[in-house]
Structure 1
Amino acid sequence: MSNIDVVITGMGATTPLGGDVASTWDGLLAGRSGIGPLVADWTEQFDLPVKIAAQLAQDPSERLPRVQARRLDRCEQVAVIAAREAWADAGFTVPDDDHQDVEPERLGVTIGTGVGGPVTLVNQFELLREHGIRKVSPLTVPMLMPNGPAAHVGIELKARAGVHSPASACASGAEGIAAGYEMIRSGRADVVVAGGAEACIHPITLAGFAQARTVSTRNDDPTAASRPFDSDRDGFVLGEGSGVVILERADRAKARNARIYATLAGFGITSDGYHITGNHPEGIGQIAAMRAAITMAGLSASDIGHVNAHATSTVVGDIGEAAAIRAAIGEHTIVTASKGALGHLVGGAGAVEGIATILALYHGLIPATLNLQNQDPKVDLDIVAGEPRKAELTAALSNSFGFGGHNTALLFTPAV
């Protein structure tokens, strides 16, 4: 790869804490929870052991024209909303036949998703079964395909340098950002719209996670259900949302006097080769991903002042990641876990948490881990709890780990 610096010039999000980056960040700092009782027509129809979720704070129907919303799966809707915010935040306008801020052949998109549009698939199958083929939408396949979120963003922004859709479960959003970095460093693009999206809160996904005993059943106290690193944790809370960043060549960003939030200085992507749902017991893949990101950035472990942990609130996963962070970086780093407030956004998690990491670096302020009241004694790390903590950071790292043994670490440094 070349020595081109890659910077972040725009950010967008829609999450359980807010319909944009500002409200999401404010929610993290204020210690608000985006988790509540399930609100859906089917809630009473199925006797599920889990009756809580981290649902969007602002429904996509409030942001998208009615006709467009009906043509998109919910996963595609959140990706388009987050991408529009990021694009505008970077100072760009929506391209038309008369004006384009970025040459189409130099613009790429990399938006990952864990599963894409399974809700569309299931709903359309029900229509087929009950009413026959005439009720099935001709847009079924474009709505359910995992590349749909990235494709719709690419079409809207007229991106022609390549549109990609990493699918690595809960690491998809982070891997989308890493893929965007590679597009710029390899010379394929000057600007990349990168991130992740997911919206699969549905009876079948909740039932599957419940059967696997990975989700919290703290139904009587939803806001306290997601408890990363806490001794009383009992599983994650399924969420939905999207995070998107604008990655840009540093020289290009400076030439147009763009606001630069941070530099994406490196990343690490590894795989465990061990188990379809469980991480390697010795954390070899997680450790290797963090070390690879540090090496790519030309830094040392002592430079990493902050880690936004993957920390889903599962009994085994949190302990394993804590040990991996300690092995790869050391005990000095300050750790937080955004999923206490956001829930687990699956394919959108790595991108939204990457944005939280960028903002912690940009503002010198690390949000607290919500619901961390009694830190597990096996978690031997400095984890922020109670109130946000001020810190002057020279480098921050965001972890994302997914089913299948996918590990991605993103490393950010201050603007160059």
Structure 2
Amino acid sequence: MRKRVVITGLGVVAPNGVGVTAFSEAIKNGVSGIAFFPELRDLNFSCQLGAKPHISEDKKREYLSELQLRNFNSSSILYGVIAGMDALKDAKIEPANPKEEPLWDLGIIFGSGTSGVEKFREAIYKIDDKNVRRLGSTSVAQTMTSGVSAYLGGLIGAGNTVTANSSACATGTEALLLGYDHIANGKAKYMLCGSTSDSGPYLWGGFDAMKVTTYKFNDAPNKVAGPMSAEASGFVPGSGAGAYFLESLESAQKRGATIYAEILGGAVNNGGQRGGGSMTAPNSAAVQKCIKDALVNANVTGDEIDYINGHLTATIKDPDEIENWSLALNRRGAEFPYINSLKGMVGHCLAASGSIEIVSAMLQLQEDFIFPNVNCENLHPEIDALIASEKIPRQLRKSTLQTIAKASFGFGDVNACVIFKKI
């Protein structure tokens, strides 16, 4: 018999708030972490805006030792370590004593898109093709995709599955569902899951070259047109990490743990880059199928969904996403659930987007609010024709949510959708 799975710990490192408390206040008040970067202007980027968390040197030393920080230059691992260890602490689970056995029942699935881009650039910059062995002894651990899960595994003493996944923008949502399966099927007692993403020009430059980022608000970072707005012209690249601690409902109740939500189920699929889908564009049929399959797996109907935490990116695909939700749930107009997108405040955090957004969804579910869609005063006309304007809150809204949906749609035509419920 499959076990019921709940979330009992959260951690977040976001451009508008590091730590759950700061992040919660920021999203309630529509605080943006988007800023102008002179470095991007000097590099002739069309989009000279970005969003990255602010981590002080003192903050780093709360999580990593001086030895670990020696020659350390991986923001994605740093973000992931902070978010992951905060989620563990929030769940009130102690790391294994270094002199004792690992925690055999605790596993980690923590994903990333790319890891240690700046570290790899730094290492390569210092050598030439005849001195490749001089890359440095710390380059491997900081640039392998599983670097963040490996660091967390060592800090915690995790003895179960310790691995990483990588599915572009869907990484964080997929990681949660992978961890959910481990708990539901009795393969682990605890799972720490999440995702992280680097920041900086060596990662963001590719998106600028693809012309999917906005260039219209370089002189007004606080006024960047948000997702679903008529003026939306592309996303702002972001970075950070989100994490969640999973265990069975039985275990959480026995421990007296705080329960943020139950994971009812979900689905992951791929559009196969067919039917209008491509490396960068979603196949609408696959998106709708992913949502419908998630509902079936969670044993809920479309009518039960109170709120959607959207993937919505402030690109030309926003109306398609709204239409896909409308068709998959069979709801439109005033019958459509409330929906918002965090990307108006933190940019598109790439591989970390799903995990940071899941943390925002858990906070809304627990604290009975819906955060505002910022800079979305004028709705895109195609969206306005599909759903009632009041279903896209522009101000903080108090609302008692029960059953909610979160989906992420990533490069490679990959989709992931998960259904949560308040207990």
TM range (shorter): over 0.9
In the alignment, structure 1 residue 381 sits paired with structure 2 residue 384: no
1:367 to 354, 365, 371: 371
Q: Which runs of 5+ in 1 are unaligned?
A: none
Q: Deviations over 1:54-103 (max 9, x none)?
A: 11133466333444234362111111100111111001223214678xx7
Query: Equivalents in 1 of 2:346, 2:234: separation in Å?
Result: 14
What corresponds to 1:273 in structure 2?
272
Partner of 2:399: 391
Aligned to 1:302: 303
8 Å CA contact 2:40, 2:49 repeated in 1: no
1:56 matches 2:53: yes
CA deviations 1:204-227 (Å, max 9, x no partner) are 333321221100112111122251
Structure 1 counterpart of 2:341, which letter? A
Larger mean CA deviation between 207-216 and 169-178 belongs to: 207-216
For 2:206, the equivalent position in structure 1 comes to: 208
Structure 2: distance between partners of 1:121 and 1:408:
30
Shift of 1:266: 0.9
Please tell me the residue identity of whatever aligns with 1:239: G
Report how far residue 136 of structure 1 moved: 2.8
Percent identical among aligned pairs is: 25
1:195 aligns with 2:203: no
Distance 1:301 1:29 in 2: 27
Deviation at 1:402, TM superposition (A): 0.6
Q: CA RMSD in A?
A: 1.9
Q: 1:353 aligns with which of 343, 354, 357?
A: 357
The 3 A distance-change label for structure 1 pair 136 and 412 is same
- CA deviation after TM superposition for structure 1 residue 144, in Å: 0.6
Normalising by structure 1, we get a TM-score of 0.93
Q: Does 1:21 align with 2:27?
A: no
Q: Is contact 1:367–1:384 with CA below 8 Å preserved after alignment?
A: no
Task: Report deviation, 1:117.
Answer: 2.1
CA distance in 2, matches of 1:260, 1:365: 17
Task: Please give the alpha-carbon distance, in whole angstroms, between the structure 2 residues aligned to 1:60 and 1:386.
Answer: 36
The CA deviation at 1:287 is 1.1
Tell me the distance in 2 between the aligned counterparts of 1:179 and 1:214.
Answer: 29
Number of aligned residues:
406
Provide the residue aligned with 1:85 in structure 2: 86
- Which structure 2 residues correspond to residues 148-187 of structure 1 after superposition, within 5 A? 148-187=147-186
Please list the CA deviations of residues 285-334 of structure 1 after superposition, one character each: whole Å capped at 9, or x if unmatched.
2111111221111110000000010001112x211111111111223211
Note the C-alpha offset of 1:133: 5.0
Judge conservation of contact 1:170–1:348 (CA < 8 Å) in 2. yes
Quick one: distance in 1 between partners of 2:235 and 2:130?
Answer: 37
1:206-258 CA-to-partner distances (Å, cap 9, x unmatched) read 33212211001121111222510001011011111000000011111111111
Q: Cα gap change, 1:323/1:61 in structure 2, threshold over 3 Å: closer, same or farther?
A: farther
Go from structure 1 to structure 2 and tell me whether the alpha carbon gap of 1:99 and 1:6 turns closer, same or farther (over 3 Å shift). farther
Question: Which of the numbers 330, 335, 358 marks the counterpart of 2:339?
Answer: 335
- 1-structure distance, mates of 2:289, 2:169: 18
Structure 1 residues 279 and 216: CA distance shift in structure 2, 3 A = same
How many Å apart are 1:168 and its aligned residue?
Answer: 0.4
- Paired with 1:28 and 1:308, the residues of 2 have a C-alpha distance of 13
Q: Counterparts of 1:156 and 1:296 in 2: how far apart (Å)?
A: 34
Counterpart in the other structure of 1:253: 252
Counterpart of 2:320 in structure 1 is 320
The change in CA–CA distance for 1:19 and 1:137 in structure 2 (over 3 A counts) is same
Deviation at 1:192, TM superposition (A): 0.2
Instruction: Measure, in 1, the Cα distance between the counterparts of 2:20 and 2:248.
Output: 22
Write out per-residue CA displacement over residues 180-205 of structure 1, whole angstroms, 9 at most, x where no aligned residue: 00111121101000011111322x33
8 Å CA contact 1:365–1:389 kept in 2: the answer is yes
Q: 1:132 to 1:98 in 2, by over 3 A?
A: closer
3-state SS of 2:372 partner? coil
- Cα separation, partners in 2 of 1:306 and 1:99, compared to 1, 3 Å: farther
2:409 aligned to which of 398, 401, 406: 401
Distance verdict in 2 for CA 1:97–1:59, change over 3 Å? closer
Residues 180, 66 of structure 1: alpha-carbon distance in 2 compared, 3 angstrom cutoff: same
Q: Does the Cα contact within 8 Å between 1:214 and 1:235 map onto a contact in 2?
A: yes
Cα distance in 1, alignment partners of residues 262 and 184 from structure 2: 13
Aligned equivalents of 1:60, 1:287: Cα separation in 2: 45
Taking the TM superposition and a 5 Å limit, the aligned residue runs for 1:35-54 are 35-38=34-37, 42-43=39-40, 45-54=42-51
Tell me how far apart the structure 1 counterparts of residues 35 and 281 of structure 2 sit (CA, whole Å). Answer: 27
Contact 1:34 1:57 in 2 (8 A): no
**Counterpart amino acid of 1:366?**
I
SS in 1 for 2:381: coil
The one-letter code matched in structure 2 to 1:26 is E
Shift of 1:175: 0.7
Shift, 1:119, TM fit:
2.1
Q: How does 1:64-103 map to 2 (within 5 A)?
A: 64=61, 65-69=65-69, 70-71=71-72, 73-97=74-98
Cα distance in 2 for residues equivalent to 1:146 and 1:264 = 26
